[in-house]
Amino acid sequence: MKTIIYLFLVHYFIISALAETNEITEKNETKLDDENVEIEKPTKLNIKYYYETHCPYCRNFETDHFREIIEKLHDYLDIQTYPYGNVNRLHLPNDTFEYVCQHGPDECYGNKLHACALDLIKNQTAALLFNNCMMDKSQENKGSDDKAADKCASNMGYDSNGIKECALGEKGIELFKYYGEETSKAKIRGVPNIWINGSKYIRSDDVMEDICEYFVNPIPPCE
């Protein structure tokens, strides 16, 4: 009789120990699952920025606001830029076209430099910063020329030769036309022209603050 009771108690304690082990394991698995759950990131805002390279207002915006926006908010924004602006497209005989930029041929070339940088520099943020560098008010003349391209490329560790060759060749013309078509679709009037999530932005003194207000849940750079 004592043997039966002893065996019963041993069996009871074994079952209890196994149950406790399973409970601990389940809790640990649940904890691991919780740790592996990705924290939902804010949906990126879409920024469309239409500009031309020798526009003084565009250069002011690039220098005073756009660089900070790129550097601090690039993880939270989908930025698309269109280096074209106010170009007059003349229809010539034989179904050909001539493009007359608002600030002359040098601006058309500057627009092509920007378009080629966007095409050749695969890191989007780096491409935006490169173009921003060429537009900076500290650049000589009106910026966005070969000298500015060389200077910015040297500072950022790039080779500007490919970008300049692109701007001088057929690829530069092709990209220039593409940005012209996209700008035409937007039916913009004047530059700089900025759209946030499909709505035209009315410029104020602090673009960064205005963009931050679009986020329902504050993001770290805006806090």
Q: Could you report the per-residue pLDDT of 34-82, keeping only the tens digit for each?
A: 444 454 555 899 999 999 999 999 999 999 999 999 999 999 999 999 9
Q: How many domains does the chain have?
A: 1
Residue 2 within a domain: no
Among 120, 159, 156, smallest CA distance to 136 is for: 156
Q: How distant, in Å, are the alpha carbons of 23, 88, 124, 137 from that of 63?
A: 60, 26, 19, 6
pLDDT of residue 96 exceeding 80: no
Residue 5 within a domain: no
Q: Give the per-residue pLDDT at 41.
A: 52
Residue 55 within a domain: yes
- Quickly state the pLDDT bin for 30 (edges 50, 70, 90): very low
Q: What is the CATH number of the domain that holds 176?
A: 3.40.30.10
* Distance, CA of 192 to chain centre: 17
Domain that holds residue 139: 46-215
Residue 36 within a domain: no
